[in-house]
Amino acid sequence: MNEFELIQQFFSGDPRAPGVELGVGDDCALLQIPQGQLLAVSVDTLVGDVHFPSQADPELIAERALRVTVSDLAAMGAEPLWYTLALTLPDADPHWLESFSFGLGAAASDFDIALVGGDTTRGPLTITLQVYGCLPPGGALRRDGAGLGDIVFVSGSLGDSAAALAAMKKELVVGGDDSAYLQERYYKPESQIAIGKALRGIASAAIDISDGLLQDLGHICRASDVAAVIEYERLPLSSVLRGSASEAQAISWPLAGGDDYRLCFTVPRDRLDAFENIADRYSFDLTAIGEIVAGTGVTCLKDGQVVKLAAGQGFQHFR
């Protein structure tokens, strides 16, 4: 199969998606941004055996790749529109590609996001996805808006993806159902788009948790020139994590484990009523974990004592 057949068979995109004047097949895609909106753009590269196990089911690799990339749109409060795929493959295996493109399509339909272009090359397995979304001006959930006294929230549960990785590496022993739950959390992080959109005009700052809560909340604090104090006892941990992790793991995974792709955001106290209304209306799973204070950095208290993590605050490629 040559490069052009491969693109045509597996990555022909969705030429009838909203705003797509011209999709896959020409030198550029031509796209109509909804009138009066800002374009939100983000790109992620996932390298085999760095960001995911290369030998994993290609359907799951694709699901995860698109979900973690769209996570940045959710964290900005944007609505997904289009994406491009730059795919580097060791070889063109039709079975692998069939399964990969199926997973990609499944995640894309969940987000209502359309494939409009890409690039295909030979080399070590690497997936680069660029996502495009839109936002009303002034609606973006930036990192630099947290203020003193704001309440810090997270969505969903924390630490499950770190537990999933430990289970894959046989460092954690879990039963069949629990293993399936953790795999699902790692490979199919749930869409946070509805939460991000609902938080427009309510949250003062937001970020997606990709590298661990302490590190990512730290980015909000640095950008906003404030500090945060969170309480370990309030962190939302799944029953699977509670039931399987050691005491040390149950501390380090939620605080410093990467790959959760939940949202962390701050809400000013005078918007808490509006916030409760939307949280109830949509039945979002959101938990208050702490508060924004003066100073720098993120402090986590457990039984009133400051938690110190041996391994640092989260994932980094270059230390």
- Residue 206 pairs in a beta bridge with 265
Q: Which of 11, 82, 96, 153 binds ligand ADP (CB under 6 A)?
A: 11
- Indicate the residue among 101 and 210 with the shorter CB distance to ligand ADP: 101
118-126, 133-141, 256-264, 282-290 -> range binding ligand ADP (CB under 6 A): 118-126
Is there binding between residue 3 and Mg ion (CB under 5 A)?
Answer: no
- Residue 98 pairs in a beta bridge with none
- Closest by CA to 168, choosing from 302, 298, 107, 259, is 259
41-49, 117-125, 223-231, 286-294 -> range binding ligand ADP (CB under 6 A): 117-125
| Total H helices, total E strands in the chain | 10, 13
- Indicate the residue among 89 and 166 with the shorter CB distance to ligand ADP: 89
Q: Which does 11 bind (CB under 5 to 8 A by kind): Mg ion, ligand ADP, none?
A: ligand ADP
Distance in Å, CB of 119 to Mg ion, minimum: 5
C-beta separation of 46 from 127 below 8 A? yes
Q: Which of 3, 49, 112, 119 binds Mg ion (CB under 5 A)?
A: 119
Q: Is 169 helix (H, G, I), strand (E, B) or coil?
A: coil
C-beta separation of 263 from 142 below 8 A? no
- Closest by CA to 84, choosing from 13, 7, 188, 8, is 13
Is there binding between residue 7 and ligand ADP (CB under 6 A)?
Answer: yes
How many other CB atoms sit within 10 Å of the CB of residue 188?
Answer: 17
Kindly give, in sequence order, each residue whose CB lies less than 8 Å from that of residue 167, ignoring residues fewer than 6 positions away. Answer: 173, 174, 179, 182, 183
- Residue 86 pairs in a beta bridge with 119, 128
Binding mask 57-96 for ligand ADP (x = CB under 6 A): ----------------------------x-x---------
DSSP of 104-134: HHHHHHHHT-EEEEEEEEESS-EEEEEEEEE
Query: How many angstroms separate the CA atoms of 142 and 109, rounded?
Result: 26
Distance in Å, CB of 115 to ligand ADP, minimum: 6
Is there binding between residue 21 and Mg ion (CB under 5 A)?
Answer: no
Is there binding between residue 117 and ligand ADP (CB under 6 A)?
Answer: yes
111-119, 176-184, 189-197, 311-319 -> range binding ligand ADP (CB under 6 A): 111-119
Kindly give, in sequence order, each residue whose CB lies less than 8 Å from that of residue 267, ignoring residues fewer than 6 positions away. Answer: 150, 151, 153, 202, 203, 204, 275
Size of the site for Mg ion (CB under 5 A): 1
Is there binding between residue 167 and ligand ADP (CB under 6 A)?
Answer: no
Q: Which of 115, 151, 202, 220 binds ligand ADP (CB under 6 A)?
A: 115
Q: Which does 141 bind (CB under 5 to 8 A by kind): Mg ion, ligand ADP, none?
A: none
- Indicate the residue among 85 and 158 with the shorter CB distance to Mg ion: 85
Site for ligand ADP, rule CB under 6 A? 7, 11, 24-27, 85, 87, 115, 117-120
